[in-house]
Structure 1
Amino acid sequence: MHNCILINFIYVLLLGALIEGKVIANTSFQIQTFDQTALLITPHLIKSAEMLKNISPTSDPSEGCKICEEVIGGIISLRRSNATREVMMDYLLRLCVLYIGYDQESCSQRVNIESDAILYIIDHKEDLRPERFCAIYFIQYQCKDPNADDWSIPLPPYPDNLTKATTNNDTVSFQILQISDVHIDPSYTSGSNAACSEPLCCESGVPDSSDNAAGYWGDYGNCDMPWYTMENMLETINSKNENLDFVYFTGDIVSHSWAISIQKTTNIIKQFLGLLRQNFPNQTVFPILGNHEAAPNNFYSPESVDKNSNVSSQWLFDLIAEEWSEWLPNDTLSTIRKGGFYTVLVKPGFRIVALNSIVCYKNNLWTTFENQDTYGQLQWLVNILTEAEQNGEKVHILSHIPSSDDSSSCVTVWAREYKKIILRFSETISAQFNGHTHYDEFKLYFDSNKVKSVAYNGGSFTTYIGSNPNYRIYQVDSNNLTVTDYSDYILNLAEANTNSSSNPIWYKLYSFKEEYDLPDLTLESLENLYNEMTSNDTDNKIVEKYYRYKFRDSEVHNKQGCDLKCKKKLVCMISAGDTSQGVTC
């Protein structure tokens, strides 16, 4: 999907820009702005840009680490030599064009919205070092920071006797709808260029062929989704599923466009949450934040930043506190306004914990400023789970970013501590629900070679990049709150776009229990499934099926196929409970 080492280095250069694979090589632009910074774009930097374009995952990662430290060190040194905001913005713009190849307009959009946070961090973090940046952004290549902060969250001892859950002792199940990563693009234009040279396509431009024209209902290219496709999905769910009890929305409303602002982001968030209220008037929606709800996206400032500062995330926390208030009780407001997380006792014995896991996201620039349990959220989580354990409650955890994924998204220490918490309270946590990756996948948390917990990833409504849109419905045991089955529903985009004048058909792609021939979805059954997937060195039909469903039976990825190396990584990532385990896959 992308050249990992190059993309992660670009994350450093743009300090949080979400590219995910759109690198344009051999492109040259002439920038006529400040002569002072023109002199800083040296032949050495130009050479390093070419080196990065040729680095592969099998290359010596120290090459990327060295270049990263040189470039980031240059940015810090320039600012600390009293360079003005104008000069810094121009230098960042030049780096963007040099290393990525986007034009000035695209790069200017990113630099304009991120520059204040970048300068704030350089100006206020006296011990900021390039090694800190590179160790965070190059997690999977193990760039080192000899002065890295290490911290841990203390855990209570196991109780002598666990309190029995206070839910009703019946066999009735209930249904939960999960929607994730919708990434709505208000500028989506049917027939526009789906193969552009900008951060996000399907918004404008004339395609060079009909194959590259944006489809009416969406596109498999570097594109997000139109409003009317989202409206169609929600109307379909509403009309076909009368027995839904709850809705889990696991984050990411806003598109991948670089042309963002607080006002644009606010408008899209309000419109989408309004659609949820309109289509699910009788269900409680439990939403969480994704990395794209922030503006700049990915950037969630810590509490130490003045709430009235123009780089503070307080505007977002205040916004969601108001927007979510129709679904959530008043006692959630304090933690939502503090950092975008909350807990709700849904009914006796059933508790939901909704986290803001963007604090662990390596593309959240503020992780370089402060990363020791931002907002005190993990300690708060331990306190909530300890109380739930004492009261015999079962817990569902909602968290946008998984503690391990293909991109090593979560900062190592945070992911490690989160996994420790999951294992300690595995008897209390019935399931976890994630988003962010856009993949249909699940994760098993092992301890002493036994599965102790499971996290389900709900895929994505957006096709970005190459997947079919989906939503998911879980069957949940009313007594112990475990998932007993789930069904994925998709829109086959290729088929829908061939008959764009008619409403698309959303259909059930598969039932997890039926498709994998499981008696149930207990941890024991999931462990047995995992063991089957490892058979014959992962080269088996089950893993092939898992790959096909990962992208929701998309013709794009089905054509690409999954070789043995791909299969091994798929299975390895299922058992990788935190980032340090994931990098070994």
Structure 2
Amino acid sequence: MKFFPCFGFLLLFFYNVSCSVYSEVADENLPFSYQPSGWKRVFEKMLEKKRSLPFPFFSNKNDLSEFALCAICDVAMSVILTERGFDMTKVQIEAQLQYFCSSFLGIEDDRVCEGIIDVNADAVLYIMDNTKDTVGSTQICSQLLDCDVGSKYFEWTIGDLKGKTVDKVESTGEKTFKIAHITDIHYDPNYTEGKVLKCGEPLCCQPDQPDATADQTACGRWSSFKDADSPLRLLNAAIDGINEQDYDYVYFTGDLVAHTVWKTSQEYNKKTITEAMDLFAKKFKKPVIPILGNHETHPVNLYAPLNITDDSINQKWLFETVFDKWSKWLDEEAKETIKQGGFYSILLKKGLRVIVLNNNAAHKENWWNLYDSEDPYGQLKWLVQTLEKAENNKEIVHILSHIPSSSCMKVWSREYNKIIERFSNTIAAQFNGHTHKDHFSIYYDSKSVANNMVINGASVMPDKANPNFKIYTVDSTGYDIMDAEVYSFDLEKANNDKIETIKWEKLYSFANEFGVSKLVPSELDALIKRMADGIKKKDYTLIDLYHKFYYRNSKSSQAKCDETCQKKYICEILTTVHGETSMCDNLWT
């Protein structure tokens, strides 16, 4: 805190400079790439003054401390909100953000910044102009950058939950069935082999990007490890690989659409979703339980409340699209809520209910939480009611959601954890995706006792790892996960050898490699303690194994996992409420 007076001086300087130079604004007739002189002069003056400040604010435009970023965000958003209040136009605000994105912070190049700002502008300006409560810069920066100053704005509760969880139904493993888990395909219909791998944009291998000059720098036949999504041939190969296994159901935990976030549209996303879901329906031999990802919507991450009637910025088109494409696998009960937010419940088989959540609406990057943050779509209230019904009917539940709860709004993940604790013995397991990595997390009750678990399906698209899918062995009585087998292939070898057909190999069995009898909270809790004890004793056998499988034995897994990396894994396993790391912290004390 000793820096606060100095920082206050800096903020005062920044604000005064902002106010004094902002009499000049962008001309609507100028090109979009025009850099507003106001922003330019503000940041140039800050750069001129930085050496005279009493502490090092930042060394260059791209080297900002977290504290400094929050301060800059707060002042910048204050200026924009003030200007919007004085009827500054969409074009002018877009031009300012363009300069802030590309020239000052260097977040992306001009084309990407322009595209991202353009596709988000209508929704964001609607939120600024129409929010029911006063939304200021602190709330925006709290959501964007985890700045604590706005945390009180995002505060609500589902209330106390009556009753207590039922007795646990034990799983013996005497009778089982199989579930396939596929996630984060990020199907890219425009994937172009031979384009340059290092394109400088969020997604490479696009037809309008440069050609590579050598095989070593070119996008491969089956995708590539960095900044590349899944071509159609990889999606087909993944489905074919699952069909070679013994399975009874498919859990698909979201993200069909590619990472071209600067040029998506409702039409483009709908076409991608339709093509992929039609392929699922045609090729999968067993029922599919699908969910939405944060990339299915346009713009990415934005799920508007149902009372937003403007079809250009709401998700009515998306809910109607998936209702049409998912109906093949769902009963009438499941169909009732899809158009109300993309979530549903289905009795998969006698005694096993699957609850599908659209927790993308609670994602920290969904700007509509600034408009109305409380229990998006009423899902948590609906979840409690559905779990109560399952409990009364003596059903066991699997929950599917795309985003790990630790990546959702803190208040949402906290309330969700309360629900998990209340119904911990009704919920046998949870499944998600989003991170593209192979990992799991453990839920704990208020007394720090492990009470639930979630398995991440990793991803078909590579993202520094080899593509994969999972096959679960599930007990037919208690519906616990007895084992998780991961299937993958060597992407680099497949590209270098230009192979025509992928042969998926079993990479590992979780139960065998990590020495657990089944994937239940108590066993996983014991495993994490063994992992942590090993690190303390400098026996890295378990954590190195976890590191290897996290990236599915790709080159990324061959890099040494140092102490920071090791503790990151442990904390990831133990954190299910955003920002709450007490379970992790206590493990090292």
| Structure 2 length-normalised TM | 0.87
Structure 1 counterpart of 2:87: 82
Deviation at 1:563, TM superposition (A): 0.2
Distance 1:169 1:97, change over 3 A: closer
Equivalent position amino acid for 1:441 in 2: H
Structure 2 counterpart of 1:195: 198
Equivalent position amino acid for 1:232 in 2: A
Aligned counterpart for 1:403 among listed residues 402, 405, 422: 405
Rounded to whole Å, the distance in 1 between the matches of 2:550 and 2:529 is 19
Residues 182 and 251 of structure 2 are in contact (CA less than 8 Å); yes or no, is this contact kept in structure 1? yes
Rounded to whole Å, the distance in 1 between the matches of 2:498 and 2:126 is 48
Structure 2 residue matching 1:53: 3-state secondary structure = coil
Structure 1 residue matching 2:38: 3-state secondary structure = coil
Structure 2 counterpart of 1:128: 135
Rounded to whole Å, the distance in 2 between the matches of 1:502 and 1:495 is 12
Deviation at 1:92, TM superposition (A): 2.6
Residues 480 and 518 of structure 2 are in contact (CA less than 8 Å); yes or no, is this contact kept in structure 1? no
Identity of aligned residues (%): 34
Determine whether 1:220 maps to 2:225.
yes
Equivalent position amino acid for 2:297 in 1: A
Structure 1 counterpart of 2:188: 185
Rounded to whole Å, the distance in 1 between the matches of 2:213 and 2:80 is 39
Structure 2 counterpart of 1:328: 330
Deviation at 1:347, TM superposition (A): 2.3
Aligned counterpart for 2:69 among listed residues 41, 64, 71: 64
Q: Which has the larger radius of gyration?
A: 2
Residues 173 and 482 of structure 2 are in contact (CA less than 8 Å); yes or no, is this contact kept in structure 1? no
Residues 301 and 366 of structure 2 are in contact (CA less than 8 Å); yes or no, is this contact kept in structure 1? yes
Distance 1:389 1:493, change over 3 A: same
Equivalent position amino acid for 1:541 in 2: T
Distance 1:162 1:143, change over 3 A: closer
Aligned counterpart for 2:144 among listed residues 128, 137, 153: 137
Distance 1:146 1:206, change over 3 A: closer
Determine whether 1:272 maps to 2:271.
no
Kindly report which structure 2 residues correspond to 1:152-167, keeping only aligned pairs within 5 A, or say none.
152-159=157-164, 162=166
Residues 179 and 461 of structure 1 are in contact (CA less than 8 Å); yes or no, is this contact kept in structure 2? yes
Distance 1:502 1:580, change over 3 A: same
Residues 489 and 506 of structure 1 are in contact (CA less than 8 Å); yes or no, is this contact kept in structure 2? yes
Structure 2 residue matching 1:444: 3-state secondary structure = strand
Residues 168 and 425 of structure 2 are in contact (CA less than 8 Å); yes or no, is this contact kept in structure 1? no
Deviation at 1:360, TM superposition (A): 1.4
Rounded to whole Å, the distance in 2 between the matches of 1:519 and 1:392 is 25
Rounded to whole Å, the distance in 1 between the matches of 2:122 and 2:34 is 20
Structure 1 counterpart of 2:554: 554
Aligned counterpart for 1:317 among listed residues 316, 319, 326: 319
Structure 1 counterpart of 2:383: 381
Rounded to whole Å, the distance in 1 between the matches of 2:229 and 2:455 is 23
Structure 2 residue matching 1:566: 3-state secondary structure = helix
Determine whether 1:520 maps to 2:539.
no
Structure 1 residue matching 2:68: 3-state secondary structure = helix
* Cα deviation 1:527-552 (Å, max 9, x = unaligned): 21111011144542101110111111
Deviation at 1:387, TM superposition (A): 1.5
Determine whether 1:565 maps to 2:553.
no
Structure 1 counterpart of 2:426: 428
Structure 1 counterpart of 2:96: 91
* Cα deviation 1:456-515 (Å, max 9, x = unaligned): 000000112x11100000000010010000100012101111211432221100000011
Determine whether 1:113 maps to 2:119.
yes
Structure 2 counterpart of 1:468: 466
Residues 155 and 421 of structure 1 are in contact (CA less than 8 Å); yes or no, is this contact kept in structure 2? no
Rounded to whole Å, the distance in 1 between the matches of 2:380 and 2:573 is 23
Rounded to whole Å, the distance in 1 between the matches of 2:85 and 2:152 is 21
Structure 1 residue matching 2:153: 3-state secondary structure = coil
Structure 2 residue matching 1:292: 3-state secondary structure = coil
Equivalent position amino acid for 1:132 in 2: Q
Determine whether 1:541 maps to 2:541.
yes
Deviation at 1:575, TM superposition (A): 1.3
Farther off after superposition, 332-341 or 198-207:
198-207
Kindly report which structure 2 residues correspond to 1:438-449, keeping only aligned pairs within 5 A, or say none.
438-447=436-445, 448-449=447-448
Rounded to whole Å, the distance in 1 between the matches of 2:541 and 2:168 is 40
* Cα deviation 1:428-476 (Å, max 9, x = unaligned): 0000001001110000112223210010000000112x11100000000
Distance 1:272 1:562, change over 3 A: same
Deviation at 1:43, TM superposition (A): 3.1
Residues 52 and 64 of structure 1 are in contact (CA less than 8 Å); yes or no, is this contact kept in structure 2? no
Structure 1 residue matching 2:439: 3-state secondary structure = strand
Rounded to whole Å, the distance in 1 between the matches of 2:61 and 2:362 is 26
Structure 1 residue matching 2:62: 3-state secondary structure = helix
Rounded to whole Å, the distance in 2 between the matches of 1:253 and 1:391 is 34
Residues 265 and 298 of structure 2 are in contact (CA less than 8 Å); yes or no, is this contact kept in structure 1? yes
Residues 576 and 582 of structure 1 are in contact (CA less than 8 Å); yes or no, is this contact kept in structure 2? yes
Backbone CA RMSD of aligned residues: 2.3
Deviation at 1:163, TM superposition (A): 7.7
Structure 1 counterpart of 2:211: 206
| Structure 1 length-normalised TM | 0.87
Distance 1:334 1:564, change over 3 A: same
Structure 1 residue matching 2:295: 3-state secondary structure = helix
Deviation at 1:50, TM superposition (A): 7.0
Structure 1 counterpart of 2:13: none
Rounded to whole Å, the distance in 1 between the matches of 2:443 and 2:60 is 38
Deviation at 1:148, TM superposition (A): 1.3
In the alignment, structure 1 segments of 5+ residues that lack a partner are 1-30
Structure 2 counterpart of 1:12: none
Distance 1:147 1:175, change over 3 A: closer
Aligned counterpart for 1:100 among listed residues 99, 106, 109: 106
Residues 401 and 435 of structure 1 are in contact (CA less than 8 Å); yes or no, is this contact kept in structure 2? yes
Residues 180 and 242 of structure 2 are in contact (CA less than 8 Å); yes or no, is this contact kept in structure 1? no
Deviation at 1:267, TM superposition (A): 0.5
Deviation at 1:517, TM superposition (A): 2.1
Deviation at 1:94, TM superposition (A): 2.5
Deviation at 1:394, TM superposition (A): 0.4
Distance 1:273 1:50, change over 3 A: farther
Distance 1:237 1:309, change over 3 A: closer
Deviation at 1:51, TM superposition (A): 5.0
Structure 1 counterpart of 2:478: 480
* Cα deviation 1:19-75 (Å, max 9, x = unaligned): xxxxxxxxxxxx9627996222233335579755113xxx4x321110111122222
Deviation at 1:403, TM superposition (A): 1.1
Rounded to whole Å, the distance in 2 between the matches of 1:371 and 1:559 is 42
Distance 1:205 1:50, change over 3 A: farther
Rounded to whole Å, the distance in 2 between the matches of 1:190 and 1:175 is 35
Rounded to whole Å, the distance in 1 between the matches of 2:558 and 2:77 is 39
